[in-house]
Structure 1
């Protein structure tokens, strides 16, 4: 009884978790700036004050953490569906951007003062619920993956990555999702050599856990199920 009641309340109050341009465009009117960035150009730098929130309209950006030894780690990707740069820091009331965000492709974004967006959120129950859903969902996934990821071997790390990539990129009606990251980038994210990534991809291809067409890698719903099935056994 209580389980059903909770599920009904989830439905009542909504489960939307994407805070993107579509959520604030009706509030903007003509009072906003459109900014454009070239590929490889940074949008924000780690340590910057979150003066503005950038809502991506087109293109792809990536979050990069750099370390004292000079190494870099690409650990998330942003586009028009989930691109709200500076929102996390604004909601957390932190004065420093947590990661450098740089452009993988040319990017067009709408720039809005963070104070304006923060005031909208605090004064609008719908936006406040959306923000809570977004942060709770992110925390849930991070809590579940921390520790587990580092116990996985090479091929299972790749399985985990592909499942996560598919779930984030798939859209209604998609039969296949193309994995657009190059092997070197995947290796950086997973702590694997390019050679290990290649061997793992071959194994997954032979097991029919991924689809290879014209040297491009794809994952569909059937492949996603096979990848997840092997991970459950770990």
Structure 2
């Protein structure tokens, strides 16, 4: 395998399909420890799109489909937010939170991303609140005070915005998106496929051999 390869997972913490894709990308990462994984925030609800969840009436129906196809859980805490409709999704603050968590424990980025989506989609916690990140940090045995210091640091906002710009420069504007970088070449693998489908694309396009861990593929296929 080309040693100059990595997987790039582009997500948004407030993206329901990313919540559904979480287990798949985690399993893929476990299948291929030889492929470094970089996780970047895309910025779904920023600017004029950072609105109350009730402004997006399609979300409830989309969540049903996501749950049916991926088995993702949408908990009672989240359902209360959805029913009330006033909760404002702010992807920039969520990206700052992820940047803070990832900076303190980069080796656990994939677990921390999943923890953020569990906090929102299962427990109904705001990803704009510092206390959410304290809870995630403590649960994952990382320095909560260091995370909160970074969350409040103005430089973290600039870093999150720079990450949005990097994602835009890659031509990615939908989430989740999984890319394989080989040298200076970036190839989209997909974003809502199951592990078997992604493994097949890796093997076909880049001679990445599927591992025996294909058993971890989801029973139900994912799709938009």
TM range (shorter): under 0.3
Instruction: Kindly name which structure, 1 or 2, has the bigger radius of gyration based on alpha carbons.
Output: 1
TM-score by length of 2: 0.25
Question: Which structure exhibits the higher relative contact order, with contacts defined as CA atoms closer than 8 Å and separated by 6 or more residues?
Answer: 2
1 or 2, which has the higher helix percentage? 2
